[in-house]
Amino acid sequence: MVILSLNCGSSSAKYQVYDWDNKDVLAVGVVERIGLEYSTIEHKATGKEDFTDKFTCPTHKEAVELIIKMITDSKYGVIKSVDEIGAVGHRVLHGGELFKKSALVDDEVVEKLKTVIPLGPLHMPANIGGIEAARKVMPNVPHAIVLDTAWHQTMPPEAYMYAVPYEWYEKYNVRRYGFHGTSHLYCAKRAALLLGKENKDTNVIICHIGNGASVCAVKNGVCIDTSMGLTPLEGLVMGTRSGDMDPAIMPYIMNHTGMSAKDMDTALNKKSGLLGICGMSDRRDVADAAEKGDKKAQLAVDMECHRIKKYIGAYAALLGRVDAIVFTAGVGEMSPLIREGSTEGLENFGIKLDKKKNAICRCRNAEFCISADDSPVKIFVIPTDEELVMTEDAYALMNGTYDVHTNFHYSFEDASYVNKGRQRALPANLAKNPALKDIMALPKR
């Protein structure tokens, strides 16, 4: 039996096929440019030749049909028929206050998700469209929603409420929700394992740094605060998002330029962040430009690290005791520059980075410890696995064994857990960079 994971964006549909019996990823891929003149698909199946081509996908329905065609293809596919799919897990951006954990999909659930669209107007229509399309293509398969916001539902009111008129919360659901929940969940539980602690005894600060980025404070194994808010715009300096700013900037600029509310929303989400400061959003390009003396690129790097460091300090104050700092996601896993800049000067907090360990840590196929040997607070680099969380939630929901994460046990919480795909890829990384072996972090319980 396999579990299919789908992550549908406004013009894309990412997918993963997971062999539940052998606990291994069979295929991954993405359909892009949905709704445009032509769409593209990139399909990678373990042990088979990669496939790339152009098709016509006016809607997500055709995209899902294309995905099913690819994974059952005689040459490039990994299963013989759709009947081998036991469940489908759908990533959903926003659950509002309606969904505090993953759930099986029925017509009522879809209607409830539609009421949350105003909280995520850029993402939710595509998420829902993908669910509806997949249910039509696979009507006899259980479908589950896995929500970015669910992990953060343990935040106390003093953390999730804004100091605005209370009726905004009552009438319009204005509050902090948080995002990247599946990533924070995975990393929190892996960090506890690496520390040799039970989840309920673990305090960590997780820095999910990608094009979108957020920090999460985890106390006694649950989220107590996070940097993103009502939407993914708040918090850190990101690839194209502004993060924290004075709200008065918006009417000030709108009055001077005549920008509409929609124009401002676009500017803050798609034209700000690193892109707004230096004209580049890819951290590799920014780092290269900064190294060559580009002052705006260096400013962008400094601003990003400054903001991350502020959140680490603030969350250290909230937690009281910090067991570990975790870096994850594309930039967190692969950028020594950002990790060093974000932890520099935090020695008084017991956070001591080993610069040599950090410099060699560029690998997404193992977990690493890059803190100094005498650092009271560990610094881990943990490659995230959001798709595995989606897969396990979907299977458990189908099987009737699912519960909130504090009452549920994931396979990756076991010391014996192995990501087979990463295990296969790691030897090549070690051959190229043997020093990686010396900084690998291994489970302690």
Spatial separation of the C-alpha atoms in residues 111 and 107, rounded to whole Å: 6
Closest C-alpha among 46, 40, 34 to residue 76: 46
Q: How many helices (H) and strands (E) does the chain have?
A: 17, 14
* Cβ burial, residue 360 (10 Å; 0-12/13-18/19+): middle
Positive or negative, the Cα torsion across 272, 276, 280, 286?
Answer: negative
Q: For residues 188 and 207, what is the distance between their CA atoms, to the nearest angstrom?
A: 11
Q: How many residues does the chain have?
A: 445
Domains of the chain plus CATH, in order, are: 2-147 (3.30.420.40), 196-382+423-439 (3.30.420.40)
Helix runs in 116-232, H state only:
124-137, 157-160, 166-172, 181-195
Question: Can you tell me whether residue 66 is helix, strand or coil?
Answer: helix
Residue 219 tokens, joined = 């106390």
Chain position carrying tokens 């009507």: 139
| pTM for the structure as a whole | 0.95
Angle at 276 between CA 272 and CA 281, to 5 degrees: 90
d(CA 324, CA 346): 13
Best CA proximity match to 222, nearest among 436, 407, 361, 417: 407
CA angle 29, 126, 231 (to 5 degrees): 105
- Enumerate residues 6+ apart whose C-beta is below 8 A from 314: none
Q: Which of 155, 280, 321 is nearest to 229 (CA)?
A: 155
Q: Which residues are catalytic?
A: 148
Q: What are phi and psi of 403, to 5 degrees?
A: -155, 175
**39 phi and psi, to 5 degrees?**
-115, 155
Give, for all 445 residues of the chain, the pLDDT tens digit: 999 999 998 788 999 999 999 999 999 999 998 988 889 999 999 989 999 999 999 988 899 999 999 999 999 999 999 999 999 999 999 999 999 999 999 999 999 999 999 988 878 998 999 999 999 999 999 999 999 999 999 999 999 999 999 999 999 999 999 999 999 999 999 999 999 999 999 999 999 999 899 999 999 999 999 999 999 999 999 999 999 999 999 999 999 999 999 999 999 999 999 999 999 999 999 999 999 999 999 999 999 999 999 999 999 999 999 999 999 999 999 999 999 999 999 999 999 999 999 999 999 999 999 999 999 999 999 999 999 999 999 999 999 999 999 999 999 999 999 999 999 999 999 999 999 999 999 998 7
